[in-house]
Amino acid sequence: MLVDAKTLALFGGTPVRAAFLPYSRQTVSAADRSAVLRVLDSDFLTTGPEVVSFEEKLQRVTGGAYAAAVSNGTAALHCMLDAYSIAPGDEVIVPVITFAATANAVRYMGATPVFADVESDTLLIDPAKVEHLVNPSTKAIIAVDFAGQPADYSGLRSVLPDRVYLLADAAHSIGASLDMKPVGTLADASTFSFHPVKPVAAGEGGAVVSIDNDVIKSVKTFRNHGIDNDHEARKSANTWTYSISRLGFNYRLSDIHCALASSQLDSMESRRLRRQELSEMYDSLLSELTGVSPLVLRHGIVSSHHLYVVKLDLKMFTEGRDMFFSALRAENIGVNVHYQPIPAHPYYQNSGDSLTDCPVGADAYEIILSLPLWSGMTNTDLEDVVTALKKVTAAFKR
Ligand SMILES: *Cc1c(COP(=O)(O)O)cnc(C)c1O
């Protein structure tokens, strides 16, 4: 029995959990379900009253920024960069550790993503590194609120010329704040994702918010084929004509999705508090484990606690991160890795990008693991994760 409890499931032992624990999943309430069902019986399935009321609600939770809902977080990035007229020849600075969409969206505009290194303790884009990357072609920067912690926006502002737009990929951080200022007002414009693992789930969905209403008006045209969005005026003039003022896409979000996202916004803070509680439990249980440490939360931050990322001190272990990943998965613990550095992907390698200028991000990638974290997780689930981590660290102890 004792031997079996110690033998890693990877090597034939009994897994810590009988059932697989995912690293994340959505939490859908009865109120969420009835909100969606109401739409199914209404006059609108796509663009209707739910879109407008969702955008108004978003505006309230993001500190008064204007909002436009779009089909997903990647489309939101595309819409935002279009609104700032990012074009071929422009450079846009992005962090080396982020989801590929942050850099891909720069490519959609024919512009060049320039990768900035991150800080080792937070994995947030490092203002000191950004400073050296700015040149006359630099048009914008997209900071990423990694794991739910807002980036250092004032630090970034202080190293950027006024002409460079400070933008936020806030896919992880809706509901978070920095020095009491909510995400949504920290940058010139910010994007959200409502993918099921994100703090607000719509199935698929995204949004752009900005204190500059011209940016949001532009997004509303771009998301609807480039059609000037004055459909109310068309209706009152009793005409079918509309004009395409420029090229756009179909990036609309449906009323069905908006009803779900809207209902999820109502309960966002209670889910955030639960993730905060779970994160604090991890903090205290992991403090007894040598060689495993969480990322640092800076002073003045209220995090959305989207991810719980730990770093492994590989000096202490006989195995690397990949073996930790396999061993924990075998114990039925759904660990994950956020993220592979973007310049390491073949598409970016083929474009001449390399990791050599981002040594901190490159090194961090070798030692990071995301532990399961979602609001519907039980304390017992979390204890299973820690038990599995203890088992694996003991087996791999140097
Ligand atoms: C999820 C995510 C996106 C993309 O959002 P989608 O809604 O999946 O298109 C972009 N950036 C970051 C940092 C993300 O985590």
pLDDT at residue 210 above 50?
yes
pLDDT at 230 (0 to 100): 65
Q: For atom 6 of ligand 1, which residue has the closest CA?
A: 73
Give the amino acid at 132. Answer: H
Residue nearest to atom 2 of ligand 1 (CA): 171
Q: Which atom of ligand 1 is nearest to the CA of 75?
A: 9
Q: Which residues contact 266 (CB under 8 A, 6 or more apart)?
A: 31, 57
* DSSP-assigned beta bridge partners for residue 310: 294, 369
* Global pTM value: 0.97
Q: How far is the CA of 74 from the centre of ligand 1 (A)?
A: 6
Q: CB of 193 closer than 6 A to ligand 1? A: yes
Tell me how far apart the alpha carbons of residues 36 and 27 are, in angstroms, rounded to a whole number.
15
CA atoms within 13 A on the CB side of 201: 17
- What is the number of the ligand 1 atom nearest to the C-alpha of 338? 15
Q: How far is the CA of 75 from the centre of ligand 1 (A)?
A: 9
Q: Quickly list H helices, 297-378.
A: 321-330, 346-350, 359-365
- d(CA 355, CA 362) in angstroms, rounded, equals 7
Quickly list H helices, 18-152.
Answer: 30-40, 49-61, 73-83, 100-108, 127-131
| Residue pLDDT, tens place only, 326-343 | 999 999 999 999 999 999
Residue 195, ligand 1, Cβ within 6 A: yes
| 25/181 Cα distance (integer angstroms) | 28
Helix 255-266 / helix 49-61 crossing angle, nearest 10 deg? 30
Ligand 1 touching residue 206 (CB < 6 A): yes
pLDDT tens per residue, range 83-115: 999 999 999 999 999 999 999 999 999 999 999
Amino acid at 6: K
**138 CB burial (10 A radius; 0-12, 13-18, 19+):** buried
Beta strand pairing status for 138-144 and 91-95? parallel
pLDDT at 218 over 70: yes
The share of the chain scoring above pLDDT 90, in percent, equals 93
Which residue of 191, 193, 251 sits with most ligand 1 atoms within 8 Å of its CB, as the best mutation to test the pocket?
193
The answer, yes or no, to whether any atom of ligand 1 lies below 6 A from the CB of 62, is: no
User: What whole-number distance in Å separates Cα of residue 158 and Cα of residue 156?
Assistant: 5
DSSP 140: E
Asked whether residue 3 carries a pLDDT value surpassing 80, the answer given is no
**Confidence band for 232, pLDDT divided at 50, 70 and 90:** low
Residue nearest to atom 7 of ligand 1 (CA): 73
